[in-house]
Structure 1
Amino acid sequence: MTPRLEAVTPRNFETAVALRVRPDQEHAVAPVVRSLAEAYVHPDGVAWPRLIVDEGRAVGFLMAFFDIDWHGDGSLYRSGLWRLNIAAGEQGRGYGRFAVESVATEIRRRGGTRMYVDWHAGPHGPAGFYTRLGFRTTGESDGDQVVGVLNL
C-alpha cells in the first residue's frame, strides 16, 4: 500500500463524486459531492478536500478543516477531520488510518496540537475506528454527532 493524497481538480472531480461507502454507512457520512459544495462555500482555506489514491485508483476521500470557528462567535477555533469516505470495496485496508494520520500531520505542520472529529454514534458508525486510533470523546455533540479529540 502506497497511498497518497491528491487535491480535487477538474481532472478527477468525476472520480471523486463517484466514490461510495457501503450502503449501510450512507446514513452516517455525507456524499463527496456535498463535502465539495461545503468546501466551496467556506472561504480562506478552512476546508481541505483530498482524494486518497493508491496505485492509480481512488480509494477514498477526506476533508479536513483548519481553524474553523467552532461556535460561530470567534471564541473557539479547532482543526480536524471533517469527512472521511472510504470506498465500499476498499475498507479494512488501512486507508482510513492513512487519512487520519495525513490530517494529523497537516495539523501539526500548521502548528496545531489537537485534532477533532465527529461521528455518527448509531449502528454501523465509526466510533470503534476512531477510539482505536486514540480519539477520546469530549462530552460534546455536534447535532447528532459525537465529538472526539486526539492530542497530537
Structure 2
Amino acid sequence: MTTTAAAAHRPARAAALRLEEITDANLDAALGIRVRPDQERAVAPVVKSLAEAYVHPGVAWPRLIVDDGRPVGFLMAFLDIDWHGDGSAPRSGLWRLNIAAGEQGRGYGRFAVESVAAEIRRRGGTRLYVTWHPGPDGPEGFYLGLGFRPSGERSGDQTVGVLDLGA
C-alpha cells in the first residue's frame, strides 16, 4: 500500500476534528455533503435538514463535521423537543447524520455521535435518542455498536434507539 493509500485509510484524528456552526462561509461546503447513492433513501439531504433547522429554531442544532479544514460530514441534533406532544418528557438526540460517501469508515460518524452526546450532557441531559431505517443496508449495526439499544418505539417506519449517557 502506498503512503497516500495508507493515509486515506487511517482512522480520523480527534485533534483535527471539529464541528462548525453553519454560516455563510461554509454553507456551500455543507450543501456539498453527499452520502452514497444506496444510502439516500435512509437519510435526507443536507438541504432538507437546513430547511428544517430554519423552521425549528432553538430545537435544531446543525453542524458541519470538519477534519483538518476539510468538510467530511454533517449532523443535526434535536435538543429538548416535546417528543410525545404533552410536555411530559423532553428528548434530545441525533436527528440527521450524513457522512460524505468517500469519507465513511474513518471514525467521523462515531465523532459525530460523541459530539452530540457531549452537547446533550453539557445541557444536563442523560439520554441520546436516534432513529434509523431497519434492514441489512441500514445503519442499525453502527448505532448498536456505539451502545444504542432499541427503545421499543417506532417513529413512522423507523426504529427509535436510545443511548444512556449517565448522570
State the Cα deviation string for residues 38-61 of structure 1 (Å, max 9, x = none).
111013x11100000002110000
Listed as ranges, the matches of 1:105-124 within 5 Å are 105-124=118-137
- Give SS of 1:102's match: helix
Which of 1 and 2 has greater Rg?
Answer: 2
Give the match for residue 32 of structure 2: 18
Q: Which portions of structure 1, spanning 4 or more consecutive aligned residues, are displaced by more than 2 angstroms?
A: none
Residue from 63, 67, 84 that aligns with 2:97: 84
**Aligned residues, how many?**
151
1:70-112 Cα offsets, whole Å, 9 max, x none, are 0223232100100000000000000000000000000000000
Structure 2 CA distance, aligned partners of 1:97 and 1:78?
A: 20
Matched, 1:49 2:67: no
Superposition CA RMSD, Å: 0.8
Matched residue, 2:88: 75
**Could you tell me how far apart the structure 1 residues matched to 2:86 and 2:46 are?**
28
Partner SS for 1:9: coil
Residue 36 of structure 1 is aligned with which of 35, 47, 50?
A: 50
Q: Is there any run of 5+ residues in structure 1 with no aligned partner, and where?
A: none
> TM-score w.r.t. structure 2 length?
0.88
State how far apart, in whole Å, the 2-side matches of 1:63 and 1:100 are: 10
* Range with greater deviation from structure 2 (33-42 or 119-128): 119-128
Note the residue ranges of structure 2 that are not aligned, 5 or more in a row. 1-12
Report the Cα distance in structure 1 between the residues aligned to 2:29 and 2:130, rounded to whole angstroms.
25
Aligned to 2:138: 125
Per-residue deviation at 1:123?
3.7
Question: How far apart, in 1, do the equivalents of 2:126 and 2:86 lie?
Answer: 22
Q: Does 1:100 align with 2:145?
A: no
Give matches, 1:56-67, under 5 Å: 56-67=69-80
Q: For residue 116 of structure 2, give the secondary structure of its aligned residue in structure 1.
A: helix
